[in-house]
Amino acid sequence: MENQVSRRNFLNRLGVTVGAAAAATAVPATYFAGPRPAHAAIKVKGNIPDKPFKTGHITFLTGPANLLGEPGRKGHLLAAEEINAEGGFLGKRKIETIVADEAAGTDANVKELRRMKLSEKIDLFTGVISSGNTPALGPVAEELGVLTMFNDGCTDFLFDKAVPKPKYVFRVTNIQSADGVTSAVGAAKAWPQAKKVGSIQPDYSYGRNVHEHFMLAFQKLVPGAASVSEAWPKLGTTDFTPHITKLLSDKPDALICGLWGGDYVAFYKQALRYGLFDKMKVATTLAFGGQPHAIGKDHPEGVLAGAHANYFFTHPAKGRWPINDSFVERYYKRWNEYPSFESDGAYVSLYLLKAAIEKANLLVGGWPEDDVIISLLEGMGMDTPAGYLYIRPDNHQGYKDTVIGMTKNDPKYDFPIWDPKSIITIPIRDITAPPNWPKPGTSHNESTAAANWLKTTWLT
What residues numbered 279-318 form the site for other proteins, per CB under 8 A?
Answer: 285-286, 289-291, 293-294, 296, 298, 308
**Binding-site member from 19, 138, 166, 202 for other proteins (CB under 8 A):** 202
Q: Among residue numbers 91 through 150, which ones bind other proteins (CB under 8 A)?
A: 98-109, 111-112, 115, 129-136
- Cross-strand pairs, 93: 89
**Total site size for other proteins, rule CB under 8 A:** 85
Residue 162 touching other proteins (CB under 8 A) = yes
Closest CB to other proteins among 251 and 293? 293
Q: Is 227 in the site for other proteins (CB under 8 A)?
A: no
Binding of other proteins by 432 (CB under 8 A): no
Using CB under 8 A, which residues numbered 340 to 369 contact other proteins?
Answer: none
Long-range contacts of 134-137 (CB under 8 A, 24+ apart): 134/158, 134/162, 134/171, 135/161, 135/162, 135/163, 136/106, 136/109, 136/110, 136/162, 137/58, 137/109, 137/110, 137/113
Taking CB under 8 A as the rule, does residue 390 contact other proteins? no
Told to check if 397 binds other proteins by CB under 8 A, we report: no
> In whole angstroms, how close is the CB of 270 to other proteins at the nearest point?
10
Q: Which is nearer to other proteins, 82 or 358 (CB)?
A: 82
* Separation between Cα atoms, residue 380 and residue 131, nearest integer Å: 24
Is residue 154 at the binding interface for other proteins, with CB under 8 A as the rule? yes
DSSP bridge pairs for 282? 255
Q: Show contacts with other proteins in window 31-50 (CB under 8 A).
A: none
Binder of other proteins out of 10, 14, 53, 74 (CB under 8 A): 74
CB of 381 to other proteins, least distance (A): 26
By CB under 8 A, tell whether 3 contacts other proteins. no
Cα dihedral sign for 346, 409, 23, 427? negative
Q: What is the largest CA-CA distance in the chain?
A: 71
Q: Which 171-200 residues touch other proteins, going by CB under 8 A?
A: 176-177, 179
CA distances to 33, 136, 143 from 158, rounded to whole Å, are 28, 9, 15
Report if residue 55 touches other proteins, rule: CB under 8 A.
no
